Amino acid sequence: MNDVMVVKCGGSTLQELSDEFFSSMKLLKNMNVTPIIVHGGGPEIDSLLQKLDVKSEFVNGLRKTTAEVLEVAEMVLTGKVNKLLVTKLQQAGLLSLGISGCDGTLLKASAINETELGFVGEVNQVNAGLLFQLLSINVVPVIAPIGMDDNGTHFNINADTAAAAIAESISAKKMIFVTDVAGILKDNQLQKVVSVSEVEEMIKDGTIYGGMIPKVKGAIKCLQGNIEEVYIINGKSGNLMTNGELVGTKIVKSKELINN
């Protein structure tokens, strides 16, 4: 089987992903790297909640998910957003299948803190066998981060958390973290490779600031288990790959990995 790379698409960029992004996914497949797409959808969820006059709040960076909010989140994530990505990928020549974590018991989940967060879940188990079956027939899975427990209760799962759990379950070594920035800049220069400790230092000294902080922290959160490298790339850019290499910043766990 080809190498597998988990691609996490942030909700803020989904509507603006360039055609080059989708053609780059096809190029990766042609290079024997099969993508698994995991996506968010926060802005779309916010928009529909507002239209339906459903109140929503965030607790420690996670959306408190009441039964009413969960219904909207699931509608957006498994419906509109998921099928948008499937359509675009198939237009780029990649046979794709949109599923949620509830399908095929892909993501078994439980509540993180039901009192504070409601139906916000953490991943307890990933059905990696299902993913391998899809990959074996050349299907690109496009996954909405909704999980389910043994009682049939559904949970809203942070997309970063879902992507990291999926990557770990299939022993993926690399992830792509798709956002709306080119990568990490220092003195106006794109940093091609940095370690976690260097990123933390750049946050401390103010090189990384504002909205970039949650982006890099989300990427770092994915560096667990077998995952050795996370790329931050700009999904809105026209040039995602140069000479077969992704354009952006590669974050690795340590400097030893940079030197290898």
Q: What averages of pLDDT result for each successive group of 10 residues across the chain (260 residues)?
A: 84 83 89 92 92 90 91 95 95 96 97 94 96 95 97 94 89 86 88 91 89 80 81 81 82 69
- How many domains does the chain fold into? 1
**pLDDT for res 70:** 96
**pLDDT for res 255:** 65
The half-sphere exposure of 72 on its side-chain side, counting CA atoms within 13 A, is: 22
**pLDDT for res 243:** 75
Q: Which residues contact 137 (CB under 8 A, 6 or more apart)?
A: none
Strands (E), the chain: 3-9, 33-39, 58-59, 62-63, 96-100, 107-111, 121-126, 140-144, 146-148, 154-156, 174-179, 185-186, 189-190, 193-195, 229-234, 241-242, 245-246, 249-252
**pLDDT for res 152:** 96
**pLDDT for res 246:** 82
Residues recorded for the chain: 260
What phi and psi, each to the nearest 5 degrees, are found at residue 113?
-155, 95
∠ at Cα 166 (112, 70), nearest 5°? Answer: 40
pTM score of the predicted model: 0.89
Parent domain of 82: 3-259
Whole-number Å distance between alpha carbons of 142 and 97 = 6
Helices (H), 31-158: 42-51, 67-75, 82-91, 114-117, 128-136
Cβ(102)–Cβ(115) under 8 Å?
no
**Sequence ranges of the binding site for substrate:** 41-42, 63, 156
What is the domain-level CATH number for residue 46?
3.40.1160.10
- 83: which 2 tokens? 């099928």
Residue pointed to by tokens 């999980």: 147
- 30: which 2 tokens? 């042609």
**pLDDT for res 2:** 65
